[in-house]
Amino acid sequence: MAVNLPTELLRSFAAIVDSGSMLRATERVFVTQSALSLQMKRLEETVQTPLFHRDGRRLVLTPTGETLLAYARDILSMNDQAVAAVTGDALAGPARVGLVQDFAETLLSGVLSQFAQLNPDAQLQVRVGGSQELIDLLNSDRLDVVLCMGASDDLAAIRTAPTIWLGDDALLAQEVLPIAVLERPCRFRDAALSALDKSGRPYRVVLETPSLSVLRAAVNSGLGVTCRTEIFSTRRLGEAEAATLPDLPGVAYVRHVRAKPHPTIDRLAELIRTAVLDLQTPVSA
């Protein structure tokens, strides 16, 4: 008798692997952790072999689990393509996404790959810009999805992150602190200069640029200090050195989606949300 692999179990299985834990996988498949555990028990009973083993607190795939994962991805991809084909929900025109450069450099390749697999006939148009510029484009119906930075209490926030000082520790010994910033408008520029002004710490702007890549190069080369989230650079100040500088407000990673989006846009927006939730900060050198 043929054994059928239920797609909902395979989708939960892949979500656990991709997110690294059952708890985080619940945010992807929208079931409780206990229900997810029962699903994995059912899947293991179906294939009659364990798919995970525990290494401390981590779930690790067994050799059988690794084999099944590759097939699960293929099955889910074909399932989603089949649903799109028979329901006639092909997107007319491109999927238009706007990202601030921080996310374009850290998330875009993974999101593009997943979106292309799920929607092989769809076209992506990507706009990289400042947060306010992207929101204005969304409001004028020139973008479908935007991922940008916002205030930590923004209702559209996917997750929040601390704003930290970045740069070479040796620069803090200078009587006048050298600062590198982006041109206005920039949330991080305003946060850095406002905090320094309020604390009375003398500073001078040694670099002002519209390019995030140029700003990163300046910080990594030791030209100046800046502030951003941890996804920006590994050149983080030491704890003792950072404590001599004023505190900074946190920031939110914010996703906005156009009203009444097409199902394909909904899938793109969910891929972006998942990528942000799974985002790992760089490890300091």
Q: Mind listing the pLDDT tens digit for each residue in 89-141?
A: 666 678 889 999 888 877 777 787 788 777 777 788 888 888 888 999 898 88
In a domain, 2, yes or no: no
Query: What pLDDT digit, counting tens, does each position of 232-247 carry?
Result: 766 788 888 888 999 9
260 and 129 co-located in one domain? yes
Q: What percent of the chain has pLDDT over 70?
A: 93
Predicted pLDDT at 146: 94
Task: State phi, psi for 157 to the nearest 5 degrees.
Answer: -65, 135
Q: Which residues on adjacent β-strands are paired with residue 227?
A: 165
151 and 169 co-located in one domain? no
50 and 168 co-located in one domain? no
C-beta separation of 163 from 151 below 8 A: no
Q: How confident is the model at residue 156 (pLDDT cuts 50, 70, 90)?
A: confident
Among 128, 229, 135, 132, CA closest to 185: 132
55 alpha-carbon distance from chain centroid: 27
The CATH code of the domain that includes 61 is: 1.10.10.10
For the chain, the average pLDDT equals 85
175 and 245 co-located in one domain? yes
The CATH code of the domain that includes 147 is: 3.40.190.10
140 alpha-carbon distance from chain centroid: 25
Six-digit token pair at 158?
Answer: 């996917």
15 and 47 co-located in one domain? yes
Report the SS3 class of residue 239.
helix
In a domain, 119, yes or no: yes
In a domain, 200, yes or no: yes
Q: How many domains does the chain have?
A: 3
Domain encompassing residue 131: 95-160+252-277
148 and 261 co-located in one domain? yes
Instruction: Give CA–CA dist 255/120, Å, rounded.
Output: 24
Predicted pLDDT at 67: 94
183 and 123 co-located in one domain? no
Predicted pLDDT at 283: 38
Query: Cα torsion at 19, 23, 24, 29 (round to 10°)?
Result: 90
In a domain, 1, yes or no: no
Task: State phi, psi for 215 to the nearest 5 degrees.
Answer: -60, -45
Average pLDDT over residues 152-164: 86
In a domain, 76, yes or no: yes
Which of the listed residues 52, 87, 122 is the one where a domain comes to its end? 87
23 and 48 co-located in one domain? yes
Tell me the C-alpha to C-alpha distance, in Å, between residue 151 and each of 125, 186, 249: 26, 12, 9
For the entire predicted model, the pTM comes to 0.63
206 and 273 co-located in one domain? no
Instruction: Give CA–CA dist 199/217, Å, rounded.
Output: 27
In a domain, 284, yes or no: no
Which of the listed residues 26, 55, 87 is the one where a domain comes to its end? 87
147 and 257 co-located in one domain? yes
108 and 119 co-located in one domain? yes
Q: How confident is the model at residue 278 (pLDDT cuts 50, 70, 90)?
A: confident
270 and 237 co-located in one domain? no
